[in-house]
Structure 1
């Protein structure tokens, strides 16, 4: 019997690259003319990015800068889940952006259902925040990767540990 091949479907964010993108936005805020004298800020937490600015327009400008820097660094834009814009002290506003890591149970079920519906001879199982796909033929596994790339599951997918 031939040994089964497998790979993992994950949704990960390189936090070092995210830190670099946030630092670039901080520098740009310091240098831009329209932010001179304002108390606009951006901070990277464990699983979130916090943005504060004088008004919603500047908050949106900071968010646009962050998205540009993320795109240049290859960080998926879908990983940011924007929270509500809240009023803060002294007439300022703030927003918290959650960094989504891993595949949720609901998305995992959708991925497994899509794989089963394709009628390929592979098995898919949810393991914590990732999905493992195994099959005898590597061609079937590559067909599953193409199927998942074509589908929209609400998160950015990466394919790792191809064995």
Structure 2
């Protein structure tokens, strides 16, 4: 029986490239000339540091643009509500969601069951395995997952026939 996995992963190489592009964009922007700003990436977390809260928010938008140019879905970003002020700098942390948490997986399975598509959905760790008899049913589930508004981007892998 055909099956596939629904996962939520951020490609770390593309994320690093997007951060590097963000740094280059900030170096060339007119509104950041003469301003001390820093973008660091470490352990699926980007740290944005600047002299004002407004500039930190601008840096988030530049990062979001760089991510979309590198085909990384910006919906995977979790931006802190408020920048932390210490000394003369404001620091804003941006985390990236890896894997599907249990609550989101349960909502996704519930949505799939409510659609009455003839497939079996099973939660397996941080992914959801979908099994069905027809490929068309599996493709319908893929379309349903893409269009669902669960605050997280989904990818599909391990397609077996």
TM-score, normalized by length of structure 1? 0.92
Secondary structure (helix, strand or coil) at the match of 1:161 reads strand
- In the TM superposition, residue 30 of structure 1 has moved relative to its aligned partner by 2.2
Q: Structure 1 residue aligned with 2:43, among 41, 46, 50?
A: 46
Written as runs of structure 1 = structure 2, the 5 A alignment for 1:151-162 is 151-162=148-159
Equivalence for 2:8: 11
Identify unmatched segments of 5+ residues in structure 2.
none
Secondary structure (helix, strand or coil) at the match of 2:159 reads coil
Query: Following the alignment from structure 2 to structure 1, what is the Cα–Cα distance between the partners of residues 19 and 143?
Result: 32
Query: Following the alignment from structure 2 to structure 1, what is the Cα–Cα distance between the partners of residues 12 and 75?
Result: 14
Identify unmatched segments of 5+ residues in structure 1.
none
Query: Following the alignment from structure 2 to structure 1, what is the Cα–Cα distance between the partners of residues 142 and 29?
Result: 42
TM-score, normalized by length of structure 2? 0.93
Query: Following the alignment from structure 1 to structure 2, what is the Cα–Cα distance between the partners of residues 140 and 17?
Result: 31
Task: Provide the aligned length of Structure 1 versus Structure 2.
Answer: 159
Deviations 1:12-70 (A, max 9, x none): 11111111111111122223232222211010111210000000121122111111111
How large is the Cα RMSD of the aligned pairs? 1.2
- In the TM superposition, residue 160 of structure 1 has moved relative to its aligned partner by 1.3
Equivalence for 1:86: 84
Equivalence for 1:71: 68
Query: Following the alignment from structure 1 to structure 2, what is the Cα–Cα distance between the partners of residues 121 and 62?
Result: 45
Deviations 1:110-147 (A, max 9, x none): 11111111222211111111100001111111111122
Query: Following the alignment from structure 1 to structure 2, what is the Cα–Cα distance between the partners of residues 110 and 55?
Result: 39
Larger Rg: 1
